[in-house]
Chains A and B, each alone.
Chain A
Amino acid sequence: MSLLLDANPVPRKLREFDPQAIEDAREFRGEITLFIPAARLRSVCEFLRDAADLQFKYLSDLTAVDLCASEPRFEVVYHLLALEPYQRLRLKVRLPGDNPRIDSVVPIWPGANAFEREVFDLFGIQFDGHPFLRRLMLPEEWEGYPLRKDYPTTGYR
């Protein structure tokens, strides 16, 4: 982990800004993944967006992964993009299976609005501070969260 963190300027700058910002880091097929503590998400995202030489102004994608049966159960995944200089970055935040909540990033990237609603709808993860956290794909009265691993793919619930 430390080798990767020193070689790439993005995690290095992030650690200079906040030494506790990165829990863990991975690299696979040239893509960098940084694990961020849930409590620091807002400040880290603001820094990545506004720092003069990073400029991650574009939220490409936001989704979640359910690692059912292991704890922490959920990972919320953020794909960021900077146009100048051009680079991509993946952030991950681990959340517990029991009452998963995380700060919304809509105040930082308004484009996160629909993505967070989708994750709320299909995974049941709460986003604190989201302006309109309602079901998006499914009807309001739907029970359960289909993209969780304990939700069956076929047959009746």
Chain B
Amino acid sequence: MPITLEKIPGQEERVILSMGPQHPSTHGVLRLVLELDGETVVRGIYDIGYLHTGFEKSFEALTYSQGITLTDRMDYLAPLSNNLGFCLAIEKLLNLEIPPKAQWVRVLLTELTRIQSHLVWLGTHALELGAMSPFLYTFREREEILNIFELVSGQRMMTSYFRVGGLALEPPLDWLRRVGKFMKGFPRCLEEYEGLLTKNPIWMKRTIGVGAISAEDALALSLSGPSLRASGVKWDVRKAEPYSSYEKFNFDIPTRSEGDVYARYLVRMDEIRESIKIVNQATQGMPEGPVKANAPHIVLPERESMKTSIEALIYHFKIVTEGFHPPVGEVYQSIESPRGELGFYIVSDGTPKPFRCHVRAPSFANLQTLIKVIEGRLLADVVACIASLDTILGEIDR
């Protein structure tokens, strides 16, 4: 039996509505059970797990390097952010130093990921509130970012491009020119989206004052990311605990104080602008050098060296057949994914496979806020609230 809401004894009968898991506005397979009084939501619960595939269990059966491919599939709109979080956690466990160029490429690509993830959010959010055209425009630009990912890693979505110790391979020669060309035209596109929405009276009526949450409640409910910053909490993991040389970049953390759907919209739009700033800085100041750490027992050797060096061949054989042995210990590494604090908690027992790998998925925690903000609101506002929290069911269910 799927989960449902129990009747409260002695109360007059109300409509129990099961919304989802196939409802188009639920961004995947989220199911909500809502108790309605007329059109007003009295209370609600959510039901998840429709995409549960046991990633955390699978990690325990794979070596650390093999696990990277699983992280792509959790938050499928931000695979590179997930790659980064997982690799950083393992590198912290190994105490491994990453060359500057690899760190900068990582920053550049994760910021592009943030932009494309926010573009999907913006397009679908507007679509659900009845504005069809932003969806078509945002997907046009997103496509170009996916093309850049394909150019660099060979894959549009399931990139697996960040590896333990650096990058999978050297990016192609003229990729920065391609990024620069896209970045030159993109701010105009952003104005186009804002021209369609920001002062649009229907958009404002559907979002201002809807689904508001105070900073105190949001923190208590473990909300993170742009949704939390829309409530006035100036916390961004990139600034608070800089990783992958974010401390060398100049950017702001946009915040708002209203905490409603409109504020979350504005914060994300400003965040795209900050990401453009970071990408431009990374493109201009890209350091030269290797993209893999100098750690032959962890990082796969170059193909060429395997043909001439017996040592490289042995390392390659060892890494592929067995994996590497990190020290015994446990680490928690968090990064700022497009949706909030993405944390990887890895327990190592010294074998080539993680003893336990837990993913602190931002959407998983953020979804709890949904139940709080829809209470007492109209059913139509539920759609706006789901969209504004930007949850991805792939990482919720894992």
Contacts and interface: CB of A to CB of B under 8 A. Distances in A.
Given A28-B329, A58-B222, A110-B221, A65 B356 contact: yes
B75 interface: no
B368 A61 contact: no
Contacts of B337: none
B95 interface: yes
Contacts, number: 97
A132 B343 CA distance: 25
Nearest to A66: B356
5 contacts: A31-B330, A79-B345, A83-B235, A109-B220, A110-B221
A111 B365 contact: yes
Interface string A57-82: 11111010110000000000101000
B386 interface: no
Given A79-B345, A86-B240, A136-B49, A61 B332 contact: yes
Contact of B332 (A59, A90, A140): A90
B57 A153 contact: yes
B58 interface: yes
A104 interface: no
Contact of B49 (A57, A77, A132, A137): A137
Interface in B327-353: 329-332, 334, 341, 343, 345, 347
B314 interface: no
A37 interface: no
Given A29-B329, A86-B240, A88-B332, A61 B360 contact: yes
A24 B223 CA distance: 30
A137 B330 contact: no
A28 B345 contact: no
Interface string A119-157: 000100000000010111111110000110001011000
Given A60-B360, A86-B240, 16 more contacts: A29-B92, A29-B329, A57-B220, A61-B332, A61-B343, A61-B358, A61-B360, A83-B235, A110-B368, A114-B365, A118-B364, A134-B3, A136-B49, A137-B48, A141-B1, A153-B58
B189 interface: no
A77 B220 CA distance: 18
Interface of A: 28-29, 31, 33, 57-61, 63, 65-66, 77, 79, 83, 86, 88, 90, 109-115, 118, 122, 132, 134-141, 146-147, 151, 153-154
A61 B233 contact: no
A61 B222 CA distance: 9
A33 B61 CA distance: 26
Contacts of B3: 134, 140
B222 A147 contact: no
From B341, B355, B356, name the one whose CB has the most chain A CB atoms within 10 angstroms: B356
Contacts of A77: 345, 358
Contacts of B95: 29
B93 interface: yes
A35 to B, nearest CB: 13
A114 B49 contact: no
B219 A31 contact: no
A109 B220 CA distance: 5
A79 B332 contact: yes
B35 interface: no
A125 to B, nearest CB: 14
B52 interface: yes
